[in-house]
Amino acid sequence: MVIYKELEHKAAGHDGTMTDEDGLLIFKPLNPQELAFYKNIQTRLEKPKRFEEGDVPLELWMPTYLGLLEEGVNKPTDNAQIITDGSDLSKSTVALRGLGLDENSDGEDHKGFLVLENLIAGYHKPNIMDIKLGKILYDENASEEKKARLSKVSETTTSGLLGFRICGMKIQENKYTMDLDLQHHEKHTDDGYIFVNKMFGRTRTVEDVHQAFDMYFSNQKLSEPRIEQLKHNFSQRLQLLYNTLLNEEVRMISSSLLFVYEGDPMRWDEENDEDPIINDQFGDCSGDESSLATDFDTEDTPVRSPPLSSLSLIDFAHSQLTPGKGYDENVIEGIESLMDIFDKSFT
Ligand code: ADP
Ligand code: MN
């Protein structure tokens, strides 16, 4: 029984990332270092010491890690095994019971999947942008060949000068997407979406990269005030994330910022244009874990509706906690450049 499917709306990355039928969860091919990072962040008991009142801890910027789906050795129908961190999250696995792994999966040697909160769950028309952070794109474990290759990528793209690079977008078509170079986008279906590929981001320059943000936000279905609100909210989120990262002692090589906004005006109507700056739907600060359980316990869908937009950090295959080592300058620089662009272009 296969009741999960290829993730339809994604902005970049490798193949093999799946979602369930209802699109509540993400199954990402397991990488041990990424698993360790999620566990370490989510199971830490105290926030970093230097946190001021009002600062947001790193975990609130990350998708919630819900468990590990491991390939078993039993017969196909019960070869799904769920492992969670502890009793707090165990209820959340109710929705996962009975999941089978695809027997025809790609044959790579990953043994299982990370189960994560799907950041676009509940969106009608998600518009997604993936931005890779950092000037340095490799860690000390990389081979010499990989170091050389990724140094070259950094030197020849905005990564090297600005500390970020647009990896890709999956957005609704708009007046800017019509002018995109043939090599820079793909149109798969007639659903009104366009996939802006990595060659687009690699060919942006310090001078013109701000236009890519104009393109991302230029949604033909949303009114000007709504678009202004989106830019304003993302600008605030970048500032808040910056404060978070100044207080955290981590190294996040080649992780990404994931921008998401709702392109269906009906959902904006339903929400009266209200869009929280920080989404605490899963990661409830109050420490009341029961809210997570009720999301999955009795209903098939989450109790609360998703936000109209969000900013998150994703992709931690080369991330680690580094207590005592200070903030992650490599990532901070990229956020600074982004704040600068948002200030100049959008305010
Ligand atoms: P890779 O290691 O292959 O680069 P990523 O974690 O960067 O994988 O994910 C690739 C893409 O999948 C992202 O650009 C994003 O569009 C989508 N994605 C990843 N994680 C999530 C998530 N938790 N919720 C929604 N979309 C996600
Ligand atoms: Mn990625």
pLDDT, one tens digit per residue, over 318-342 is 999 999 999 999 999 999 999 999 9
Closest C-alpha to ligand 1, atom 8: 13
| Closest approach atom of ligand 1 to CA 170 | 16
Mean pLDDT, range 302-321, rounded to an integer: 91
In terms of phi and psi (left: phi > 0; alpha: psi -120 to 50; beta: otherwise), the region of 153 is alpha
| Closest approach atom of ligand 1 to CA 167 | 14
- Residue 50: the pLDDT is 64
Cα 82 from Cα 181, distance rounded (Å): 45
Task: Provide the sign of the torsion angle of the four alpha carbons 224, 225, 226, 230, taken in this order.
Answer: positive
Q: How confident is the model at residue 98 (pLDDT cuts 50, 70, 90)?
A: very low
CB-ligand 1 contact for 14 (6 Å cutoff): yes
The residue with greater pLDDT, 96 or 5, is 5
The SS3 of residue 321 is: strand
CB-ligand 1 contact for 42 (6 Å cutoff): no
Tell how far the Cα of 315 is from the centroid of ligand 2, in angstroms: 5
| Closest approach atom of ligand 1 to CA 63 | 23
The number of helix segments (H) and strand segments (E) in the chain equals 10, 14
Closest C-alpha to ligand 1, atom 10: 13
CB-ligand 1 contact for 130 (6 Å cutoff): yes
Residue 79 has pLDDT above 70, yes or no: no
| Closest approach atom of ligand 1 to CA 316 | 6
Ligand nearest to the CA of 6: 1
CB 129 within 8 A of CB 234: no
| Of the candidates 234, 228, 308, the residue with the CA atom closest to the CA atom of residue 268 | 308
Query: Worst-scoring range by mean pLDDT, 81-95, 182-196, 202-216?
Result: 81-95
Mean pLDDT, range 55-65, rounded to an integer: 93
Report which residue type is found at 8.
E
The SS3 of residue 3 is: coil
Closest C-alpha to ligand 1, atom 12: 10
Percent of the chain residues topping a pLDDT of 70:
79
Residue 140 has pLDDT above 90, yes or no: yes
Q: How confident is the model at residue 110 (pLDDT cuts 50, 70, 90)?
A: low
**Joined tokens for residue 227:** 């678009």
- Residue 300: the pLDDT is 53
Q: How confident is the model at residue 49 (pLDDT cuts 50, 70, 90)?
A: low
Percent of the chain residues topping a pLDDT of 90:
72
CB 35 within 8 A of CB 106: no
Residue 105 has pLDDT above 70, yes or no: no
Single pTM value for the model: 0.86
Residue 148 has pLDDT above 90, yes or no: yes
Mean pLDDT, range 238-244, rounded to an integer: 97
- Residue 125: the pLDDT is 98
CB-ligand 1 contact for 306 (6 Å cutoff): no
Cα 297 from Cα 92, distance rounded (Å): 7
Q: Which helix (H) or strand (E) holds 165?
A: strand 164-172
- Residue 4: the pLDDT is 82
Average pLDDT, the chain: 85
Residue 83 has pLDDT above 70, yes or no: no
Q: How confident is the model at residue 2 (pLDDT cuts 50, 70, 90)?
A: low
Q: What is the DSSP letter of 92?
A: G
| Residue extents of the structural domains in the chain | 4-117, 126-346
Tell how far the Cα of 167 is from the centroid of ligand 2, in angstroms: 8
**Joined tokens for residue 294:** 């009720």
Distances (CA, A) of 23 to 9, 196, 206, 302, 309: 10, 22, 36, 11, 17
Closest C-alpha to ligand 1, atom 1: 13
List Cβ neighbours of 144 (8 Å cut-off, separation of 6 or more): none
Tell how far the Cα of 219 is from the centroid of ligand 1, in angstroms: 22
- Residue 1: the pLDDT is 53
* Domain covering 126-346, topology: D-amino Acid Aminotransferase; Chain A, domain 1 (3.30.470)
- Residue 55: the pLDDT is 84
- Pocket test residue of 8, 28, 123, 309 for ligand 1, highest count of atoms within 8 A of CB: 28
- 320 strand-pairing partners: 251
| Closest approach atom of ligand 1 to CA 31 | 2
User: How crowded is residue 321: how many other Cβ atoms within 10 Å of its Cβ?
Assistant: 15
79 φ/ψ angles, rounded to the nearest 5 degrees: -95, 20
Mean pLDDT, range 67-87, rounded to an integer: 52
Q: What is the DSSP letter of 285?
A: T
List Cβ neighbours of 299 (8 Å cut-off, separation of 6 or more): none
Residue 115 has pLDDT above 80, yes or no: yes
| Of the candidates 273, 159, 170, the residue with the CA atom closest to the CA atom of residue 223 | 273
